[in-house]
């Protein structure tokens, strides 16, 4: 038995679930954004999302002054306690669900849940505190997830070349490294395109 395909251009009846043509739906893929505390993960997701991003920010208090180093980001007064979530349409047939991880070590247990079903991850790095991104690099390497490194360039910090960062972090040649600005949407889109291209090129990790 053949089913009639619902065409919204012809028919203005509301779409019923049995009329929805899945073959015309864009492919939706999940990607993760990880990195150290305060490197700009929430900023990254918020800059690019075309829906109001889901955030789980908690105000930081004096109680965490000994553990949370704010010297690189003195303006920062909240921190992610569970996840960020946003959505971006990269092409007519490709939608990305972008999940930001919490940066503080005490919330790293969330990463195991957030990583499920992801096709790849962005590791964000700040050249003033490069070592903070090692846990995220190790995590993606250990689970075999394709990843790209996005160096979030903060105002006033020294501008390095991607190859300098690659060498400093001993990142393999197969992994893309890009200098970007998490506050600029086009820069975030460029990072995501780089990741998706890398994840889909089939290079084994």
Select the residue interacting with ligand GTP from 34, 48, 102, 188 (CB under 6 A): 102
DSSP 28: E
| From 34, 48, 49, 79, residue interacting with ligand GTP (rule: CB under 6 A) | 79
Taking the complex as a whole, the smallest distance from the CB of residue 45 to ligand GTP amounts, in Å, to: 8
Rounded-to-10 torsion of CA 58, 64, 115, 133: 130
Per-residue mark of binding to Mg ion, 76-95 (x: CB under 5 A): ----x---------------
**Of 41, 153, 166, 198, which lies in the binding site for Mg ion, with binding defined by CB under 5 A?**
41
Q: Which is nearer to Mg ion, 31 or 198 (CB)?
A: 31
Decide: is 39 part of the binding site for ligand GTP (CB under 6 A). yes
47 near ligand GTP, rule: CB under 6 A: no
Q: Is 42 in the site for Mg ion (CB under 5 A)?
A: yes
For residue 149, report the phi and psi dihedrals to the nearest 5 degrees: -105, 125
101 near Mg ion, rule: CB under 5 A: no
| Residues with Cβ within 8 Å of residue 51, at least 6 apart in sequence | 86, 87
Q: What is the DSSP string of 44-109?
A: HHHHH-SSPPB--EEE--GGGTTTS--SS-TT--EEESS-EEEEEEEETTEEEEEEEPP-SGGGGG
H/E element, 125: strand 118-125
Task: Decide: is 49 part of the binding site for Mg ion (CB under 5 A).
Answer: no
Task: Point out which residues bind Mg ion (CB under 5 A).
Answer: 41-42, 80
């Amino acid at each position: 038995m053949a089913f009639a395909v619902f065409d919204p251009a012809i028919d203005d009846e509301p779409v019923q679930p049995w009329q929805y043509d899945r073959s015309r739906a864009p492919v939706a893929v999940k990607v993760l954004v990880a990195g150290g505390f305060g490197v700009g993960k929430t900023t990254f997701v918020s800059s690019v999302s075309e829906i109001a991003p889901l955030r789980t920010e908690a105000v930081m208090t004096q109680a965490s002054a000994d553990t949370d180093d704010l010297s690189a980001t003195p303006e920062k007064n909240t921190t992610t306690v569970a996840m960020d979530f946003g959505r971006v349409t990269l092409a007519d047939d490709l939608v990305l669900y972008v999940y930001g991880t919490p940066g503080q070590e005490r919330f790293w247990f969330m990463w195991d849940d957030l990583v499920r079903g992801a096709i790849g991850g962005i590791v964000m790095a700040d050249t003033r505190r490069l070592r903070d991104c090692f846990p995220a690099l190790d995590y993606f390497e250990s689970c075999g997830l394709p990843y790209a490194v996005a160096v979030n360039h903060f105002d006033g910090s020294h501008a390095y070349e991607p190859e300098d960062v690659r060498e400093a972090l001993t990142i393999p040649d197969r992994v893309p490294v890009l200098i970007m600005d998490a506050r600029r949407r086009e820069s975030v889109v460029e990072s995501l395109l780089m990741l998706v291209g890398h994840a889909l090129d089939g290079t084994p990790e």
